[in-house]
Amino acid sequence: MTAEGRSRVSVTLFRVAVLVVMGGMSGLAGCSTVDQPRWSAPIAAEEVSPQTFESPRVTYVVTEDPGDAAVELRGRVRAGNFTEVVATTNGVLVSLTVDRGEFVEAGQVIVEAETAPSDEDLIAVEILQLEVELLIASGASDAEVAAAQQLVDDARTALAPVPFLLEAPTSGLVGLPSGSTREIVAGEPVVLIADPDSLVVEVELTGDQRAGLDEGATVTIAAATGSNSQTETARIGRIIEPENPDDDTILSIPISNEFLTLGEAVNAVATLDAEPGGAWLPAAAVERSDGASFVLIANDDGLQRVPVVLGRRAGELVELLEGPRAGTTVVGP
């Protein structure tokens, strides 16, 4: 190999060596900038190493007094006592002569409607018409065909809509049955006449809302929509527990009829009584893993995961039925 060839090989090897060294340094630099995950694998032990958490965490203190603890509820005005107004024939609702929630006197016309044939009646008429066509096809006399067609015409006339009215059987507030439509079915309620002195707000409670609400608790009631800014202070009358555990608990709150109308949607705020020795914590401090709730408490060995059982919710706070007690510092996300 000539001197010139040896010089070219040396330069090439030097360039390769430089590229290898630079690539190695780049790989090291890349490794040094990889962020560790905030959580390690799902926590299986009660003790959690501080190195498990790279990002800063917030501390919270468990308190005994939640302050003005309250639960926000949604409900609707119902009637405890009411009279059903039913029709004796099938029909179609043409119009209500009064507004829902309006007070009416006994004997006042409240519904304008007209009769409507049942499906069975309509099928019977179609069968009669088919018999007429069979007579014609069989070569029956004109007199026989005319007589059969007259039966069909009389049946259609009998099924023609006939207007009728429904009156209020007693004085009270007008309401509509749940799921009501324009179809009127004989024997089923078309409207309700409610006793004005029996109005209640009915609230369907979730499991979290049910905890800590007792009969007699104070509730502030207000209309959910509109410009009405009036409020009424009432007390929980009855708590109706469901027979089926999958169903909601019903809260019944008796109210006056001064500014809320039957069927109106309302907002309600129930005041919770703080119990001595209770424990409350911001809900943001409670974490979940594998379907279980827990909080983290710092100690000399790191972070200890403590299981908790939750109770009532009051704004941003949640009650700890089981777990750390008042004064404990909790490490949260």
pLDDT tens figures, 38-57: 333 333 334 444 444 444 57
Q: Can you give the three-state secondary structure of 251-314, one letter per residue?
A: EEEECCCCCCCCCCEEEEEEECCCCCCCCEEEHHHCEEECCEEEEEEEECCEEEEEECEEEEEE
268 with 75: CB under 8 angstroms? yes
216 with 236: CB under 8 angstroms? yes
* All structural domains of the chain with their residue ranges: 47-68+276-332, 70-108+171-271, 117-160
285 with 316: CB under 8 angstroms? no
pLDDT tens figures, 136-179: 999 999 999 999 999 999 999 988 899 999 999 999 999 888 76
Instruction: State the average pLDDT over residues 120-136.
Output: 92
CATH architecture classification, 47-68+276-332: Beta Barrel (2.40)
Across the chain, mean pLDDT equals 79
Distance CA 323, CA 329 (A): 12
CATH of range 70-108+171-271; options 2.130.10.10, 2.40.30.170, 3.40.350.10, 3.40.50.2300? 2.40.30.170
Residue 291 tokens read as 């379907």
Instruction: State the average pLDDT over residues 177-200.
Output: 87
pLDDT at 59: 87
Number of H helices, E strands in the chain: 4, 24
For residue 64, give the amino acid letter: E
Residue 6 to residues 10, 14, 16, 139, Cα–Cα distance (Å): 6, 12, 16, 121
- The whole model's pTM is what? 0.54
163-167 and 189-194 as β-strands: parallel, antiparallel, unpaired?
unpaired
Beta bridge partners of 93: 113
Q: Is the pLDDT higher at 261 or at 15?
A: 261
